[in-house]
Amino acid sequence: MLDYGFRLGVKSVTVYAFSIENFKRPAEEVDVLMSLAAEKLQILSQKSELIKRNRVRINVLGAIEMLPRHVRISAAEAMLSTAHHEK
């Protein structure tokens, strides 16, 4: 989706990925979703040529303090590794 956005000239993308209400799901489901979020943030910040080539800055917004530690770390790493990007 980011690639299509770049081609169309989209300047900002917001991904609504997890609401506080989702914490009411069964713990096993939440754990899987959190692991997926951490994994995808790591890929975006460390391995994504699309992010690097297009100089995309990643910002994670919301009640970050409610996320598990490993997700907060992945979010912080993604934001730090792209902080110098301007798009």
Total-model pTM: 0.86
Q: Which ranges of the chain does DSSP label H, i.e. alpha helix?
A: 2-8, 27-42, 49-53, 69-81
Rounded to an integer, what distance in angstroms lies between the CA atom of residue 27 and that of residue 77? 25
pLDDT in the model for residue 46: 86
pLDDT in tens, the chain (87 residues): 888 888 899 988 888 889 999 999 999 999 999 999 999 999 988 888 889 988 999 999 999 999 999 999 999 999 999 999 988
Please give the single-letter amino acid code of residue 65. E
pLDDT of residue 35: 97
Tokens at residue 43, please?
A: 């890929």
| Biggest CA-to-CA distance, the chain | 39
